[in-house]
A and B are shown apart, each in its own frame.
Chain A
Amino acid sequence: MADWTLFEVFIRSKHGLNHKHVGSVHAADSEMAIENARDLYTRRNEGVSIWVVPSAAITATATDEKEALFDPSDDKIYRHAGFYKLPDEVGHM
């Protein structure tokens, strides 16, 4: 296992949703990673498309940056539809 690469696996389900992270597999190369991901994560029609990405190639946000990155969106309630009050006679909009 030690000399095999760790890949992250993303699956797109039938219903047209985005590829979603489901887990990881070890493999000698990306082709084998696809084969392993197929056996491991799609035994029951879970998907119609698989992406594999070497884990080392993923850049992620750091946990200690959480506030700096995401808090600014907390106070922008005008970005949500519910902020705008419309009279009842307008109905559903």
Chain B
Amino acid sequence: MYAQMVETGVKSVKTSTEMSSEEQAFQTRIDADIKIEPKNWMPEAYRKTLIRQISQHAHSEIVGMLPEGNWVTRAPTLKRKLQLMAKIQDEAGHGLYLYSAMETLGADRDDEVQKMHEGKAKYSSIFNYPTLNWADMGTIGWLVDGAAIVNQVPLQRTSYGPYSRAMIRVCKEESFHQRQGYEILLHLMREGNDAQKEMVQDSINRFWWPVLMMFGPSDANSPNSAQSMAWKIKRHSNDELRQRFIDQTIPQLQILGCTAPDPDLKFNEETGHWEYGEIDWAEFFEVLKGNGPCNKERVAKRKKAIDEGAWVREAAVAYANKKQQRNAA
């Protein structure tokens, strides 16, 4: 998921009798699947939760460009380089659609970006892992974007109109990302030498567990889910989406001729689902706290980009003013 553990600030979901008449009308609208639009009345906690979730989602798209940016100058062919650049440009676009949606809630983009730089706002834990070999570009497209798709497809029906519309745009573009990633890996596995095949397996071994963590903590340990689901900000539980992802991914893994680094992985004939081993949640929470392999590097890079771009933004305003004066004269 691109937004993990979004606080709702709510201890328990209110029953209908505990709600004010405004809250009741709001919940009735949500229950009837009528979208909430920027000018509609909404509970303050709903607004704040959405700002947290959409900003976290947007920050993930923006920070998510960094691990891939690492390989633009190292792509093996011009074709791969162009594809990678197109994908990275899409991620920037996704971040911008999401920031726009967030601004309709009255949030300020600069403030929210500042919060991420100060460590007060999160982005997906997955982007705190390094990209060590070329196969990682394939694995990210296939598994990371694949996990994001599983999460984002239901978010197209999320209750807040502008967020839902941003997700519809994003989902249209994601399948290119996943297919280009899978093709990179397939090419290495089918045409590559032994070292290249090992590179693919090594990449999958490193990303497998962090990708499963993208869906957030297990349902038993997900205190904010009930409220987010009542508000239809979230439409399925973390474990449900994780299971959906695993079930669709294992056949693709087998076609590649690779394995998952999970000795407990097995197909349950009765349920028709793949069962998987215990996720190392201690690692997940450490990464969220800021102690992953690349947290500091990622935030430092984002800060540097904003700081060193300040003169460009100022120059653009100065130029626009000058043009306006010239046109007025």
Instruction: Name A's B-contacting residues (CB within 8 A).
Output: 1-4, 6, 22-29, 31-32, 39-40, 43-44, 60, 62-63
Contact = CB atoms under 8 A, between A and B. Distances in A.
Contact of A1 (B37, B93, B109): B109
A6 B319 CA distance: 17
A25 B96 CA distance: 8
Q: Which of B41, B89, B100 gathers most chain A CB within 10 Å? A: B100
Contacts of A1: 108-110, 313
Given A1-B109, A40-B93, A28 B317 contact: yes
Contacts of A3: 317
B39 A63 contact: yes
Contact of B323 (A22, A29, A44, A63): A29
Given A28-B320, A29-B324, A4 B313 contact: yes
A28 B320 CA distance: 6
Interface in B165-217: 165-166, 169, 173
Contacts, number: 50
A1 B41 CA distance: 27
Given A28-B316, A29-B323, A23 B110 contact: no
Contacts of B7: none
B40 interface: yes
A32 B312 CA distance: 13
B97 interface: yes
Nearest to B90: A43
Q: Which of B41, B169, B324 gathers most chain A CB within 10 Å? A: B169
A4 to B, nearest CB: 7
Nearest to A60: B39
Given A1-B110, A32-B316, A6 B93 contact: no
